[in-house]
Chain A
Amino acid sequence: MNALRVSWLFFKLGVLNELQYRVNFFVSLLQAAIALVTGLVVLALVYSHTQELNGWTQPELLCVLGIQILMGGVIRTSIQPNMTRLIEDVHDGKLDYALTKPEDAQMLVSVREVRIWQVVDVFSGLVVLAVGLSRISTGVGPDDAAAFVLALVLGAVLIYCFWLVIATVAFWVVNMWHAVELFDGVFQTGRWPVGIYPYWLRVGVTFLVPIAFAVTVPAEALTSRLDWQTLLLAFLFAVSLFAATRWFWRFGLRRYSGASA
């Protein structure tokens, strides 16, 4: 319970901090609009040459795009800023400030930063998703919707674990700045259903970098493609990865010796 209270406090503080820079909101808005238009143009281009892509129609891929933008917004609002700060703190020896506080260290390093203007992407993703859904003729049942929400949450947890593992590696390899670039590049694979990729890449973006679970699986839920085995797999994978990540974090933490903060 205390963890929730602390998270909420950090969230409020972060939001207040960001609200000072209001023009940034419009810059975010403009950048989100440019990214969105680009995504739509690419989709239109693809579907001017074909009726369906590996069994996915245009409105269905619009849903995938919406979910990818939404998930990208969640990642850039809360997950990525915290993890890059963690990498920086390890590099500068400032992690002591977090470690000496009487709260769970993993929880603290995961909630310290909020980039609230990036929430724009969450909303633009939701709009794209809604437009896509309205064009799908089959409709979405309540069980599909529930599976979607569950898959989305599991996806976010998996992405968080992946990022924490990468950030924890910073205890050994100090220079982890490129991780952000690398992740942003690979995250673009989520624009397309994972089934179109060759086998090695599909395995990579499913288990190595869990983008398939974060984007494709929720999209499958909405388009009635998801079977319960996949959802169960996502659940088990999320639980075990979370446990493994926590162990790895503690293991890495033992290597941290501070650097005269």
Chain B
Amino acid sequence: MSAVPQAAPMPEAGRVRSMVDLYLTTARTAVSQQFQYRTANYFYMLGMIAEPVIYLVVWTTIADQHGGSVNGLSAGYLAAYYIVWTLVRNMNIVFGAPFWEHRIREGELNRDLLRPVLPLHYDIAYFAGWKVVVIVLWIPLAIVLSLVFDPALSPNAEQIAAFAVAIWGAYLIRTMFQEGLGMLCFWTTRGAAIFDLWMTLELLLSGRLVPMPLMPDWVQEVARFLPFQWAFYFPIQTLVGDYSGTELLRGLGAQLLWILIGFAIFRVAWKFAIRRYSAVGG
């Protein structure tokens, strides 16, 4: 917004710098906003704890009935899996497809379209900032869960490093696919049923319900060719599994691939969707 008109188009380096600036500023705003609502954030997290605790109790009961393990997974492994699950689940909360309906109906998209960059960038930056708050709030919760459920967790430095990257990979994969799915809202106002169906597929094929080895073989085979488990099972497994260095790198590569595929799908869908948009209010 400088008063002096720019003579030449902005050089590439300047573009990158302003993009980084946009991301950092949006993320910082999110951090300070969401820290104000820490009680609300905590309640939300507590509500989510019930789900993994139920899975953990059910599968631990089965393991105990069969001499301490089910399909080779020990009770300690299951505890570790579902405790790390809680963080990965939180990283999986993104600007979801149903929010697009709200954004269009309320005319918020009008404002977003006036900005010089895609709304996608704001969403990624804002939710990434929020994640920082979530991770901080998650730590005491993880400590309590560990005291109660006694997980078998002994990652090496390599695994911890890979995990630190993989949770952000998971965040980006889910962001891309949810934003892409959200484009449906430009065509229908009853996306809820489709989103539900997607969530169910995610539940079964991502490792959210059970660690993938507990699924029938053919399901595991199908899941290998879908993005879901790279946003859930893989990041958990980097920390609680026994991946080698190359396996970790290959997994992170697969995550990158799915981020790019998701982004490509979103860009194509966005191109067609935005043509259909006509503003109401705003």
Contact = CB atoms under 8 A, between A and B. Distances in A.
B148 to A, nearest CB: 8
B50 interface: yes
A182 B214 contact: no
A38 B58 CA distance: 16
B215 A45 contact: yes
A192 interface: yes
Contact of B50 (A52, A178, A188): A188
B71 A185 contact: no
A2 interface: no
Interface string A187-198: 011011000111
B139 interface: no
A23 B192 CA distance: 12
Interface stretch (A26-34, A79-87, A136-144, A232-240): A26-34
Nearest to B216: A48
A202 to B, nearest CB: 10
Contacts, number: 80
B214 A45 contact: yes
Contacts of A175: 39-40
Contact of A37 (B40, B50, B193, B200): B200
Contact of B66 (A41, A50, A186): A50
Given A27-B190, A34-B196, A196-B61, A185 B47 contact: yes
A185 B49 contact: yes
A49 B71 contact: yes
Given A50-B66, A192-B58, A196-B61, A30 B40 contact: no
A184 interface: yes
Contacts of B54: 188-189, 191-192
B209 A34 contact: no
Given A45-B215, A175-B40, A31 B193 contact: yes
Interface residues of A, number: 32
Nearest to B50: A185
A50 B62 contact: yes
Interface in B34-66: 39-40, 43-44, 46-51, 53-54, 57-58, 61-62, 65-66
Contacts of A30: 193, 196
Contacts of B190: 23, 27
Given A34-B197, A201-B53, A42 B209 contact: yes
A181 B43 contact: yes
A198 B40 contact: no
B71 A31 contact: no
A53 interface: yes
Contacts of B204: 38, 41
Contacts of B44: 178, 181
A196 B193 CA distance: 33
Contact of A182 (B46, B51, B196, B200): B46
A53 B60 CA distance: 11
A54 interface: yes
B50 A186 contact: yes
Contacts of B53: 201
B210 A197 contact: no
Contacts of A34: 193, 196-197, 200
Given A23-B190, A27-B190, A185-B49, A196 B58 contact: yes
Contacts of B48: 185
A62 to B, nearest CB: 15
A185 B46 CA distance: 9
Residue from the set A41, A178, A189 with the largest chain B CB neighbour count within 10 Å: A178
B192 A31 contact: yes
Nearest to A48: B216
B192 A27 contact: yes
B203 A38 contact: yes
B70 interface: yes
Contacts of B49: 185
A9 interface: no
Contacts of A178: 40, 43-44, 47
A94 B214 CA distance: 51
Contact of A197 (B57, B209, B215): B57
Those 5 A-B pairs whose CB atoms lie nearest each other, nearest first: A178-B43, A185-B50, A185-B47, A181-B47, A182-B47
13 contacts: A27-B192, A27-B193, A30-B196, A34-B196, A38-B200, A38-B203, A38-B204, A45-B214, A45-B215, A46-B58, A50-B66, A175-B39, A182-B46
